[in-house]
Amino acid sequence: MTRDWTPGTTDPAITAIARTPVLLIALDFDGTAAPLVPEPMSARALPEIADAVARLTAMPSTFVAYVSGRSLVHLREIAEHLDDSSVILAGSHGAQYWYPGQGEADVQEAAHERELRESLFQELEPLLTAYPGVELERKTFGVGIHGRPAARDVERAAFAAVDEVLARRAARWRRRTGDRILEFSSRDEGKDAAIAALREHTGATGILFAGDDVTDEDAMGVLGPGDLGVRVGAGDTSATLRVGSPQEIAALLGVIANERGSGRE
């Protein structure tokens, strides 16, 4: 049963995750670390989120990762992520990784998948000019169609047109929907795969994962008894806690940083 958490209150699940020996905090980016915005590449983490992340990554046995459906190159841009960053990145729903001190992990892709993706982009780009406000995103392993700037009826019509193209040309690609976005990928990884990979990489004894959208439930579903799932905003979820906004995620991270810091004094 998911329960609401309000800043300024205590919760035993937060205390428990703050005290785990090796902590990984994994955050979805859009809608969780950053408010949702009409222009996808203008998203930025809230300053209070960035401050909490800096505090946490400075602590021993504490890791922070952004886990996003964004291609790694775009995630690095919006996260303002530099080569000396201590923040781990998992992009493309867990198909791409960047690790501190190592950089980007090598990912192999077949030539025919690259060729199909480019061909699809060339077909979709002129097609979507008929739908004002709908934006096409070139992803590392697929395409994303953003409907937030458009009217709802225009968005629905555009998504239907794209569905027809992909059903005809790339029926085996994985289809995902989110908050006013439709995505297709040649890779099958989801955020559940990202959580498994990051747990192995960090040796985490406890993971806090926070997300706001349908694709984040893949990650929520593989959290264990020593982990904590946090849902941002409304929607069905298997998370333990629910908060109302990215601002409340910042407050929650501040509580964890305080608890974790006091526990090591």
Tell me which CATH code domain 3-107+190-263 carries: 3.40.50.1000
pLDDT of residue 264: 56
- Evaluate whether 260 touches 18 at the Cβ level (below 8 Å): yes
List the domain boundaries for the chain: 3-107+190-263, 111-185
CATH topology match: 3-107+190-263 vs 111-185: no
Question: Which pLDDT score, from 0 to 100, does residue 108 have?
Answer: 85
DSSP code per residue over 223-264 = --TT-EEEEESSS----SEEESSHHHHHHHHHHHHHHHHHHT
- The answer to whether the beta carbons of residues 145 and 181 sit under 8 Å apart is yes
Domain 111-185 listed as CATH 3.40.50.1400: no
Residue 52's pLDDT is what?
98
Residue 65 near residue 26, CB atoms below 8 Å: yes
Positions in the chain short of pLDDT 50: 265
Q: What is the pLDDT of residues 203-245, one digit of tens each?
A: 999 999 999 999 999 999 999 999 999 999 999 999 999 999 9
Tokens of 212: 């706001």
> What pLDDT shows up at residue 109?
86
